[in-house]
Amino acid sequence: MKKFIETVGLIIFLQGLGGLVYEWTGWLRPWTLARHIDFFGDRALFVSIVLVVTGIAVMVAPDTLKGK
């Protein structure tokens, strides 16, 4: 289960990172989900930052809860 959660965190992190790369350079548009969801509108940069932070938190979470 730990590896599954870390994998999900990695996917979330990479989506956020890809969104940031797109915002800064214009590359990777087909790859990022934040640019394809119309609901986010002009807030795609903020959503990408949140995805990066959330991905890191999800990847770290299994290690912090290991002793409990």
Name the band, by pLDDT with cuts 50, 70 and 90, for residue 16. Answer: very high
pLDDT in tens, 33-52: 777 777 777 888 899 999 99
**Contacts with 16 (C-beta within 8 Å, 6 or more apart), sequence order:** 34, 47, 48, 49, 50, 51, 52, 53, 54, 55
Domain ranges of the chain: 2-63
pLDDT, averaged across the chain: 86
Tokens of 53: 């932070």
Name the band, by pLDDT with cuts 50, 70 and 90, for residue 15. Answer: very high
Name the band, by pLDDT with cuts 50, 70 and 90, for residue 67. Answer: low
Q: What does the pLDDT average to over 44-62? A: 92
